[in-house]
Structure 1
Amino acid sequence: MSVTAAKSQRVQSEENPAASSSGAQASISQKEERLVRMVVAIATIFIVSYIPTCIMLLFYGVFDEFNQFGVNKRLFIVSNYMVSLGQPVSGSVNIFIYYKMASKFRSVFRRLVRLDRQELEGNELE
């Protein structure tokens, strides 16, 4: 609804430039700026968490001994564990970023958590 209202305000301001309000335009730009920050944060975490995977694959391709049966098998196993930890971290950190940066997500999440608590408390009384 807010996007539709913002678009209709833009259309009205384009039709009648004297009626355009700078507050509505500033509000839209702030929302876009927050969205860009959130997307950049998620993309940065994704890229950083997958850098070890890329490095390991590079070593695996360049060095013949870097495999599970080669001379460096212990290093391969340890790096494989480290790589497998980075991927779940990337996926699980996103919910905290959404909670911190998206007000609608935060309000819906809080509402859902409160509903779950009330349902649990109601079941315990029975």
Structure 2
Amino acid sequence: MRVSGRRADDEAAARLTPGVVAYALDVPEARLIGNGGARPRSRSARQVAMYLCHVGFELSLSRLAVAFRRDRSTAPPLRRVVKRVCFNEDGLEALERAEGWPARSGKLALKMALAQLAAR
């Protein structure tokens, strides 16, 4: 497949997934793509959408960043997740409360963080 065709497929996945996540988490879809805002609910919804694209559509982190018009680096927030859960032994519920995330989003963030560590 040509690069332009692959990029079009990536962007289609990046349009589909945020729509579903925005509906499920009751967050405006416009906040999930590009520089959509830094509110905690928007950030966690964007991370969920990116994780689903990464796992469901098998997009690499670089392709994911291009499709979502975001910086590739998700390391700082994910590093914080690993530190709090693995080193500080905080529970996922405590992490979600501290970050202002919706319920069960900590599990997705932790899976994404551990997947990034495993890839290195």
> What is the TM-score with the length of structure 2 in the denominator?
0.29
Structure (1 or 2) with the greater helix fraction = 1
> What is the TM-score with the length of structure 1 in the denominator?
0.28
Structure with bigger gyration radius: 1
Q: Choose between structure 1 and 2 for higher RCO, CA contacts under 8 A separated by at least 6 residues.
A: 2
